[in-house]
Chain A
Amino acid sequence: QLQLQGSGPGLVKPSETLSLTCTVSGGSINSNSYYWGWIRQPPGKGLEWIGTIHSNGNTYYNPSLKSRVTISVDTSKNQFSLRLSSVTAADTAVYYCARQDGIAVAGKGYWYSDLWGRGTLVTVSS
């Protein structure tokens, strides 16, 4: 059974870069059918899509975060990663990695998240 497990530091200083990795087990990240995404949830608040990657390296980002986000994939390790630069307290959230089902057409993606990893709480504080 496919599982996703996020990992990374739980505390990041303001202005630094948040880095998280999601390891996929029980199946291959090299799937034409699925995409792999990051979604976050500030404490007590709703969900925000950060971005998505395909195993071929194509990436899709939320415009509100695009200037600070990089998502990459390492198919040899069955992992994908998130980097968010210049963080502030507003970036404090639980970060989820997820498998996303759907399609991408002409640079636009149409996905829902059908399998989620256990979230990682990242606090931005000095």
Chain B
Amino acid sequence: EIVLTQSPDTLSLSPGERATLSCRASQSVSSRYVAWYQQKPGQTPRLLIYGASSRATGIPDRFSGSGSGTDFTLTITRLEPEDFAVYYCQQYDSSPQTFGQGTKVEIK
């Protein structure tokens, strides 16, 4: 099973700042099969990015994904108040598909 390790666990930033979230895989993952989700407290996860860099329907262009091999990144260029949440990466290249433990983006 591929283990995904996200860093940092918590990111404290102010609105308007840039957020960079990391996801490292225990073995190489095809970039076609990496996704990112956002989850707010008490809410359902929402798909942000699939295929490592493709934005899901309705996702603002301040969200972008990149990476290859074992290192993947989610970038939020300018944080809006509604972006403070927990973010999860997922690999679906190898069964079972697995998720990272999450990075919490909190208001500084």
Binding site for B on A (CB under 8 A): 46-49, 60, 62-64, 96, 101-102, 108-119
Contact = CB atoms under 8 A, between A and B. Distances in A.
Interface in B43-75: 44-47, 50, 56-57
Given A109-B92, A114-B57, A116-B45, 7 more contacts: A47-B88, A49-B97, A109-B95, A112-B90, A113-B37, A115-B47, A116-B46
B84 interface: no
A3 to B, nearest CB: 11
A99 to B, nearest CB: 10
Q: How large is the interface on B (under 10, 10 to 19, 20 to 34, 35 or more residues)?
A: 20 to 34
Nearest to A50: B96
B88 A111 contact: no
B95 A96 contact: no
Q: From DSSP, what is the main secondary structure of chain A's interface residues?
A: strand
Contact of A113 (B45, B57, B102): B45
A46 B47 contact: no
Given A96-B44, A117-B44, A110 B96 contact: no
Nearest to B4: A46
B98 interface: yes
A49 B94 CA distance: 12
Given A102-B92, A109-B92, A47 B47 contact: no
Contacts of A62: 95-96
B79 interface: no
A113 B47 contact: yes
Nearest to A64: B96
Nearest to A114: B47
Nearest to B100: A46
A70 to B, nearest CB: 17
A102 B33 CA distance: 9
Given A46-B88, A46-B100, A46-B102, A112 B47 contact: yes
Contacts of B96: 49, 62-64
